[in-house]
């Protein structure tokens, strides 16, 4: 498109942003107006995208990291003919696809944004997929606000992209100087941004973000730069084109007071239709699957860490499924994800100690059809919890595996102990949460995760645990295993993971006291096997839950969820980690936390009215 046409398109995007926010009575039109020219030039001359086939492999990807500028994004979609003017004016209304911040309810939105600092990390995952997995020439364009440049996650992404030589990734930084409550950290000091970004091995271009010709040249330069990603750092004016709001504080997140006057000042309503450039026809590469899944098999009676079983299962899954990729946070030797790396190095990605980028890259990769497994210590997923939360809003399919969970890790002490992970992941919308107790169960559940949708979390154990199930046993998600049961049972012990052997040992000792105890291995904490728990409550009248986790949000709460339908709650004792652990051996840790066999026996005796 000619520069005069692009200038008019920029004005149209501003007008439509004002109109959308005015119709909703809320929104961020001024943040949209600053970036309108940047998006007009990208859309008219550089973005290669087929709006009728959003899943087309050669499509570029456009990520609005500054998701609050959604009126601008929706105005772009209108200009492309993807949505109508009538739909544009449904912005932020119940039932509309045009939410306050973009989500994949729209087929052209890859990832949900709005939690600032996430768009560039997502873009890194998309760019890695295109370059290292699909081997296609599509580009990733990320619009970033200057306020979110204060987020550490943005700098994790700059580092990863620079080291990875992702020359198919372009960051467009809208430096409009004003944040939500006042000026940004560096205001219009473009060089302050450029110096920092260049230090991460990026090519940088500083421009006037309202100079159409300069923007056009910058995009061309970014596309021709080889070996380095490009950051276009654009000086813009918030509220550009309307004197009452242009470069004025206090206008963030508010519709314009007189939208009709503003529209007139911007030159009136336009209805330009923009023929977006189509992408080339490409065929992405996918490693061929080499046959049916052959999971590792472990012998009952042996002792095997479940993290070892996870690693062996991952290597087998990678052989059977060419779409599986593995992402590590520099702990693959501990989590055993390195077993996958040895078998499938071309699908293994190292993100070092950058857990936000680690999870974000997986979200980006799954938008391109890959099936990611992300593994680190359970405790360290807490750093990336906002990314996991946003992944659920993105309708992402993601497998997370947390190792070294609970006090059972022993001498490393509380900084390394995941004691909140089950609660955090159970709270994620639509998530699946699994906690296997032995090697064969772990292998089966690792494979089963990939057949589920949404966010899936598997918790593994550092130390060796007894193999109690044969390799042929099935473990449906949402199920449980009843390991001890008689008609005379007087109490039910509900355990998962490392506490299952403790519960079995306690049941054996209670039997010597003539107190038969049922034992349930509740390996699926979400969804939970409510029917088995209700039956146990009806038949034994007493439940004891025992978990290597803090009492809030873990196994005990999962059990209580089975009784939220109005059924009476049985007599219940909940054993969990209630004190702050210190360094000690695993056995000492379980004893000190009150979750070992001795503590279970004492709780059972108290529940049935017998003294120890």
Paired strand residues for 208: 235
DSSP code of residue 169 = E
Structure tokens at 532: 């088995």
Alpha-carbon distance 387 to 326, whole Å?
17
Contact indicator for 67, 113 with CB cutoff of 8 Å:
yes
d(C-alpha 3, C-alpha 549), whole Å: 61
DSSP codes, 229-255: -EEEEEE--TTTT-TTTTT-TT-TT--
Alpha-carbon dihedral 128, 133, 139, 140, rounded to 10 degrees: -40
Q: Would you name the residues annotated as active-site residues?
A: 355
* Cα distance between residue 6 and residue 548, in whole Å: 60
Q: Alpha carbon of 55 to those of 58, 194, 376: distances in Å?
A: 9, 34, 30
Q: CA 287 to CA 438: how far, in whole Å?
A: 31
**Helix, strand, coil share of the chain (percent; to 5):** 40, 15, 45
For residue 528, the cross-strand partners are 525
- The span from the CA of 115 to the CA of 117, in Å, is 7
| Partners of 400 in the β-ladder | 374, 457
State the Cα–Cα distance between residues 299 and 72, nearest whole angstrom: 60
Burial 477-488 (b: 16+ CB within 10 A, else e): bebbbebbbeee
Q: What's the CA gap between 499 and 590, in Å, rounded?
A: 9
Burial class (CB in 10 A: 0-12, 13-18, 19+), 2: exposed
Q: Determine the 3-state secondary structure of 266 from DSSP.
A: coil
Cα–Cα dist 583/66, whole Å: 44
Are 402 and 376 in contact by the 8 Å Cβ rule? The answer is yes
Please tell me the distance from the alpha carbon of residue 53 to that of residue 108, in angstroms, as a whole number.
9
362 close to 125: Cβ distance less than 8 angstroms: yes
φ, ψ of residue 316 to 5 degrees: the values are: -70, -40
CB of 460 closer than 8 Å to CB of 436: yes
Can you say how many angstroms the Cα of residue 580 is from the centroid of all Cα atoms in its chain? 29
Q: At what angle do helices 306-320 and 439-449 cross, to 10 degrees?
A: 40
In whole angstroms, give the CA distance from residue 178 to residue 506.
63
Between 152-163 and 119-128, two packed helices, what is the crossing angle to 10 degrees? 20
**C-alpha closest to that of 43 among 87, 75, 90:** 75
Find the Cα–Cα–Cα–Cα dihedral 104, 45, 177, 252, rounded to 10°. -40
Alpha-carbon torsion, ordered 533, 535, 537, 538, to 10 deg: 160
Q: Which two tokens stand for residue 21?
A: 């926010």
Backbone angles phi, psi at 237, to 5 degrees: -115, 125
């Amino acid at each position: 498109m000619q520069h005069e046409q692009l200038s008019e398109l920029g004005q149209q995007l501003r007008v439509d942003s004002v109109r959308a926010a005015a119709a909703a009575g809320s929104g961020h039109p001024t943040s949209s107006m600053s970036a309108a020219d940047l998006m007009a030039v990208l859309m008219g001359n550089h973005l290669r995208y087929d709006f009728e086939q959003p899943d087309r492999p050669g499509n570029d990807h456009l990520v609005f990291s500054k998701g609050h500028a959604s009126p601008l994004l929706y105005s772009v979609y209108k200009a492309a003919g993807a949505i109508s003017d009538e739909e544009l004016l449904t912005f932020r209304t119940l039932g509309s696809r045009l939410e306050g911040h973009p989500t994949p309810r729209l087929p052209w939105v890859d990832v949900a944004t709005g939690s600032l600092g996430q768009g560039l990390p997502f873009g890194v995952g998309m760019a890695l997929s295109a370059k290292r997995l699909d081997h296609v020439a599509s580009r990733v364009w990320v619009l970033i606000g200057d306020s979110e440049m204060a987020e550490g996650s943005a700098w994790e992404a700059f580092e990863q992209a620079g080291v990875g030589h992702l020359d198919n990734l372009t960051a467009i930084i809208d430096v409009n100087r004003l944040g939500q409550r006042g000026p940004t950290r560096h205001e219009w000091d473009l060089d302050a941004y450029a110096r920092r970004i260049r230090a991460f091995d990026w090519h940088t271009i500083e421009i006037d973000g309202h100079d159409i010709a300069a923007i056009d040249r910058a995009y061309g330069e970014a596309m021709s730069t080889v070996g380095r990603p490009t950051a276009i750092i654009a000086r813009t004016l918030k509220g550009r084109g309307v004197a009452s709001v242009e470069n004025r504080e206090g206008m963030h997140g508010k519709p314009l007071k007189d939208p009709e006057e503003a529209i007139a000042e911007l030159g009136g309503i336009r209805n330009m239709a923009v023929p977006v450039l189509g992408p080339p026809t490409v065929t992405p590469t996918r490693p061929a699957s080499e046959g049916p899944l052959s999971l590792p098999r472990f012998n009952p009676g042996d002792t095997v860490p479940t993290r070892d079983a996870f690693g062996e299962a991952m290597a087998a899954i990678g052989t059977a499924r060419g779409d599986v990729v593995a992402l590590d946070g520099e702990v693959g030797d501990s989590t055993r994800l390195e077993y996958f790396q040895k078998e499938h190095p071309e699908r293994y990605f190292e993100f070092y100690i950058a857990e936000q980028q680690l999870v974000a890259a997986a979200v980006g990769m799954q938008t391109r059809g890959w099936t990611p497994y992300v593994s680190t210590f359970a405790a360290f997923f807490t750093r990336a919890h906002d990314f996991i939360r946003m992944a659920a809003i993105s309708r992402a399919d993601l497998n997370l595996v947390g190792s070294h969970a609970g006090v059972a890790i022993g001498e490393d002490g509380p900084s390394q102990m995941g004691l909140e992970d089950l609660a955090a992941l159970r709270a994620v919308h639509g998530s699946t949460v699994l906690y296997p107790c032995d090697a064969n169960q772990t292998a089966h559940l690792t494979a089963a995760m990939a057949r589920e949708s949404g966010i899936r979390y598997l918790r593994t154990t550092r130390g060796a645990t007894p193999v109690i199930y044969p390799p042929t046993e099935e473990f449906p998600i949402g199920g449980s295993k009843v390991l001890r049961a008689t008609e005379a049972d007087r109490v039910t012990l509900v355990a998962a993971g490392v506490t299952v052997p403790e519960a079995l040992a306690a049941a054996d000792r209670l039997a010597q006291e003539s107190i038969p105890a049922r034992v349930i291995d509740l390996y699926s904490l979400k969804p939970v096997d409510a029917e088995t728990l209700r039956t146990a409550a009806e038949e034994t009248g007493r439940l004891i839950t025992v978990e290597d986790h803090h009492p809030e949000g873990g196994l005990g709460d999962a059990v209580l969820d089975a009784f939220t339908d109005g059924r009476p709650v049985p007599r219940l004792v909940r054993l969990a980690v209630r004190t702050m652990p210190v360094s000690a051996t695993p056995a000492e840790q379980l004893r000190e936390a009150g979750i070992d066999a001795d503590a279970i026996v004492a709780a059972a005796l108290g529940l049935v009215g017998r003294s120890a």
